[in-house]
Amino acid sequence: MNKLSGTCVSTRRTATWPGRHVGHQMLLARQPVGLSRLCGVRGALRRRPAGRTYAAAAEDLGQRETGTGMAEDPVVQEKPKTPAELDGENFQEMPSVEFWRTWMRRSPVDDVQDFLQSGGGLGALDLGKVRSLAPFSASEWGLYEEGSFRYWSYHLLRSGFFVAQAAAGITASQRTSSEETSGRLLANLTTNAGLRLYTEALQMFRQDFANIKAGAYREPYDMDPRHRQFSPSFILRRTLRFLEEAPRTLKRRSEGVAEDVWLKSPLYPEYYMNTWHFQTDGWLSSTSAGVYETSTETLFLGQQDAMQRTTLVPLSGHLKGRDLAGCKIMELACGTGRFATFVKDNFPDATVTCLDMS
C-alpha cells in the first residue's frame, strides 16, 4: 500500500461483484487509510450498483461511517448453482455434444413414414428434410474426401461384424434367457429399432471422419491390415470368448440380478463389488478384461472406438504447439486401456499413465 499526497492506492488482481468480473483494478480512497479500512472499501466496491464510479463508492463508505450517508445496502443471497450450471461455466462443450443433445434416434424409415403421413408422395420427397441422416449432403459425410472409401469400407465392415456377433450371442443365450428377452433383443437388430441404431452408428462415423480430416487426430491405427484384428485366429478367439460370456450376461440381465464378485476387500467401494453390466467377475479378473472390449463394441455395434476418439478433439487443441516430450497425460478409470492406445498413437512423445481400480 502506497501513500501518495494523501491518497491511498492499492492494486489487486481481480475485483468481483454480482454479475461482473474485472481484471486488475485500482482502488482509490480520499485519505490515507489502514488495512481494515481498505478492506471495507473493497467490500463497498463489490456491492457497487451498476453505473457508479469507484470514487463514489468510496465516498459512500465514508458517509456511512459518519452517519451522513445512505443506509447499508442489503446483502443479496444468491441461489446456489447446480453442478450442471457450474460445469457450464467452467467447461466448453464441443459441437458434437450439441448435436447429440438435439438429434433424435431415427431411421430413414421414420423419415419416409412422417413424409407419407403429411400427405406427400415419394416422388416429392425432399432429401434435405431427411432428419435421421442430416446434414444430408455428400460433402458433409466426407464422401468426396481423400481416404473416404477406405474409412467407410473399414468401419461399415467392422460394424457389420459386431452386428452379426450380437445376433450370434443372442441366439446362443436362448437356452438360458427367457424367450421374451431373446426375442426382444433380436427384434432390436432386425426391425426399424435396429435401423435406428445403425443410423446412429453412421452419424458417429461421420463425425469421426470429419475430425480426422480436420486434423484433430490421426486415422485409427488399427485400420492397418497388418493389425492383429485382421488375423482370423485372433478374431476366432475373441468371438468364442464373447459367445461363452454372452449367455451368462444376458441371463443375469433378464433376471435383473448382479452377482457378487470373488474379491472381498475394504479397499474397494461397495458399488464396485458386483458384476458390472452383469458381466462375469465384474471388472476384476483377467477373464473379464479379455472379453470386455469385445462385449462393449458389440453392444454399440462397432462405434465405441469412434465415440471415445471424440475426446481427442479438446485434448489435441490443448496440446497444440506444446513440447510433447515434457507432456504428461493421465487417464483415470482407463478400463483395459483401449482409449489410451489412441492417445499414445496421436501423441507418441508424451508420457501416458493409465489408472483404474480393477
Q: How confident is the model at residue 178 (pLDDT cuts 50, 70, 90)?
A: low
Q: How confident is the model at residue 14 (pLDDT cuts 50, 70, 90)?
A: very low
The Cα 260–Cα 281 span in angstroms is 8
pLDDT of amino acid 256:
79
Q: What share of the chain is helix, strand, coil (3-state, %, to 5)?
A: 55, 10, 35
pLDDT of amino acid 222:
94
* Percentage of the chain modeled with pLDDT above 90: 30
Find the DSSP H helices in 68-147.
83-90, 95-102, 108-117
Question: Which residue, among 287, 205, 208, 212, has the nearest Cα to 244 in the 3D structure?
Answer: 287
The answer to whether residue 71 scores a pLDDT higher than 70 is no
pLDDT of amino acid 3:
34
Task: Calculate mean pLDDT across residues 129-145.
Answer: 79
Q: What's phi and psi for 263, nearest 5 deg?
A: -85, 130
Task: Calculate mean pLDDT across residues 211-231.
Answer: 94
Tell me how crowded residue 92 is: count the other CB atoms within 10 A of its CB: 8
**Looking at residue 135, what DSSP letter applies?**
S
The Cα 339–Cα 266 span in angstroms is 29
The answer to whether residue 8 scores a pLDDT higher than 80 is no
Tens-digit pLDDT profile for residues 146-155: 889 999 999 9
Task: Calculate mean pLDDT across residues 280-304.
Answer: 88
pLDDT of amino acid 152:
95
- Asked whether 212 and 218 are in contact (CB, 8 A), the reply is yes
* Intra-chain end-to-end CA distance of the chain, in Å: 55
* Percentage of the chain modeled with pLDDT above 70: 72
The answer to whether residue 172 scores a pLDDT higher than 80 is yes
Tens-digit pLDDT profile for residues 52-65: 444 444 455 455 44
The Cα 70–Cα 48 span in angstroms is 13
pLDDT of amino acid 94:
74
- Asked whether 323 and 238 are in contact (CB, 8 A), the reply is no
pLDDT of amino acid 40:
36
- Asked whether 179 and 232 are in contact (CB, 8 A), the reply is no
Across the chain, mean pLDDT equals 75
351 against 83, higher pLDDT: 351
Max avg pLDDT among 5-14, 36-45, 190-199, 219-228: 219-228
pLDDT of amino acid 121:
59
pLDDT of amino acid 100:
84
- Please give, one letter per residue, the 3-state secondary structure of 220-236: CHHHCCCCHHHCHHHHH
Task: Calculate mean pLDDT across residues 332-358.
Answer: 92
